[in-house]
Amino acid sequence: MQKAAWRIWMPAANSQECGALPVADSNPTLANALTVEAPRSALSSDGASTAQLELSARRRVALVEGSTPHMSSETRSLLRRRLRTVAVLLFIGFGSFLLWSLVRWKMTEHLQAEYRWVFFSHVAVTSLMGLAAWKLCAKCDLSLTKLRIGEAVVFGAPSILFITLTYHKLQYCAALDEGHAHVASFTAAWLLLIFTYAIFVPNTWKRAAWVIGAMALAPLVVMLVAYLTIDQFAALLRTDDFDDMPVEQAMMLALAAMTAIVGVHTINTLRHEAFVAKQLGQYRLKRLLGAGGMGEVYLAEHQMMKRPCAVKVIRPEKAGDPQVLARFEREVRATAKLSHWNSIDIYDYGRTPDGTFYYVMEFLPGHNLGELVREHGTLPASRILYLMRQVCDALAEAHSHGLVHRDIKPANIYCAYRGGVFDVSKLLDFGLAKPLTDTNDSGLTQEGSITGSPLFMSPEQAGSEEVDGRSDIYSLGAVMYFMATGKAPFEYASPLKVMIAHASEDPEPPRYLNGEIPSELEEVILRSLEKRPEDRFQTVAELREALDRVPVDTEWTARMAADWWNNYGCPQRKAMAAEAVELAAI
């Protein structure tokens, strides 16, 4: 069974934003085999103030704040998808009728000249629908204002074309002394547009009433204009056969408009009920961040405090499995015992009336170590020491509680911005944590015979042996190796080969790959990667002391971390900060 690695971060809107490319472990094949990771965005700047940086990091939270689902990014994404679908359908429809009209182009020269402006309007609207479908692309993260403009284009352009066609048809049918068939044909087009809007556009009924009402009135206004400007049409309506036609069309359009508005209200009510149903206690779920074999992680908000957080819930289909549920609860209890600044904070946990179990974690802006190395290359020795000392402190507390993490890897060590401080290490995901003395384990960690991530697991984990704190030390050594060289100690296409290598092969010395690494740091890394647990550092405290003794030219400090984030963290930082300021003002 695959083990998911949860990463708690802020979701990026598109692949062009800072850090929008998801990065797993060093080998993508192996990472994908055992890891499910959500998209994220990074915190950084180009000389901006700390307040701007924090605001920039929280920009996606501002997007989803609000008491109704209509202001959420989920609704914006839904509106974009629906508008694109409508644009594609209208493009296909208008294009088909355009081809049909070209095939049957057999009118006289006089009628061709009269119809030419209608024909070119048809071509323009068809092209505009194709352009709108392209602009509303799947990867585009458009603001609500831009989406409303897109809505006006997608429904406004066809409305203008229908007005043109309606007037032309009324003029044409008056010349032929006909009416009902032609009027019914243009009315059908308006009804199609009205119900398309009602079905596809998420809206409040009041706003929909204005738009749908305008669509329903448009053909009646055109008919009135035609009555006043086309003498033949006015004469036609005065005859006994056609004098009731305006009333019939008005009643039909009014009934369609009322039905559409009620439909919008019904759909919106159902959607709101589904939205409310996604609440867990005092926490409102905003968007899915990631999913895996154990459950799902959502961006959420406490409804009273308006505090962003991450909520992990068990999968509904797994709720009936007592072993999985017991393992899930054990993860909460194990992590909740930890209070160190460098461990992920657990705010709350509970159950919903339907039996869904969840717990609430802090929400972290920043990068994980895998992303730092992938996007910015190997880290200097001073920064490796700065970050890993914090991890050692967090892990020492876990070991003091008798907990072995068993899934330490770059994706589970977060380099966050917390409390006005940059480069705060956060140790995440104690989902595989196991008490050293747990007589009630009963095989709760045996969803798979192997637990952890192959690229960074210890030999004893690879051999499914009992592990202790020294297994975490090996994984820390593998992570430091990755930070210093940009590679995991062993990288093979097959997870099995990687696990065999951990148990039988010696890693290439880090200084062969990066000559700037101090020899003392290399010794610490290689000692941590010893095959036999008794040859490694015996406690995290010993590893911490060894890291303290590594000489560096300049110690990495919080100030240097802030300068790095300001200068290298994200080229789009200014645009991101401006967007966050604009959103906060809404």
Q: What does the pLDDT read at residue 316?
A: 57
For the segment 156-170, the average pLDDT, to the nearest whole number, is: 85
Interatomic CA distance for residues 232 and 174, integer angstroms: 5
SS3 content of the chain, % helix, strand, coil (to 5): 55, 10, 35
pLDDT higher at 142 or 49: 142
Residue 117, Cβ density class (10 Å: 0-12 exposed, 13-18 middle, ≥19 buried) = exposed
360 in Cβ contact with 336 (< 8 Å): no
pLDDT in tens, 375-430: 899 999 999 999 999 999 999 999 988 888 888 999 889 888 888 888 999 998 77
Alpha carbon 233 to its chain's center: 56
Phi-psi region of 141 (alpha: psi -120 to 50; beta: other; left: phi over 0): beta
Q: Name the token pair of 368.
A: 């994980």
Nearest to 41 by CA among 66, 69, 61, 27: 61
The count of other CB atoms within 10 Å of the CB of residue 278 is: 15
For the segment 105-132, the average pLDDT, to the nearest whole number, is: 72
Its sign, for the CA torsion 451, 480, 550, 42, is negative
Beta bridge partners of 427: 343, 413
pLDDT higher at 534 or 30: 534
Judge whether 312 is annotated as a binding position. yes
pLDDT at 346 over 70: yes
pLDDT band for position 162 (cuts 50, 70, 90): confident
Q: What does the pLDDT read at residue 293?
A: 61
Q: What does the pLDDT read at residue 513?
A: 93
pLDDT in tens, 245-277: 778 888 888 998 999 999 888 887 777 666 556
Q: What does the pLDDT read at residue 106?
A: 53
pLDDT band for position 174 (cuts 50, 70, 90): low
Its sign, for the CA torsion 249, 253, 254, 259, is positive
pLDDT at 142 over 60: yes
pLDDT higher at 431 or 34: 431
507: which residues sit within 8 A by CB, 6+ positions away?
481, 489, 490, 526, 529
Backbone angles phi, psi at 358, to 5 degrees: -150, 160
pLDDT in tens, 515-531: 999 999 999 999 999 99
Choice among 64-73, 229-238, 501-510, 576-585 with the minimum mean pLDDT: 576-585
Query: For the chain, first and last CA: distance in Å?
Result: 45
pLDDT in tens, 178-199: 545 555 566 788 888 999 999 8
pLDDT band for position 509 (cuts 50, 70, 90): very high
Q: What does the pLDDT read at residue 417?
A: 84
Q: Is 407 a catalytic site residue?
A: yes
Query: 0.75 exceeded by the pTM?
Result: no
Q: What does the pLDDT read at residue 54?
A: 42
pLDDT band for position 48 (cuts 50, 70, 90): very low
Q: In what order do the strands lie in the sheet with 421-427?
A: 366-368, 413-418, 421-427
Write down the catalytic residue from 25, 393, 407, 423.
407
pLDDT band for position 202 (cuts 50, 70, 90): confident
Interatomic CA distance for residues 381 and 510, integer angstroms: 12
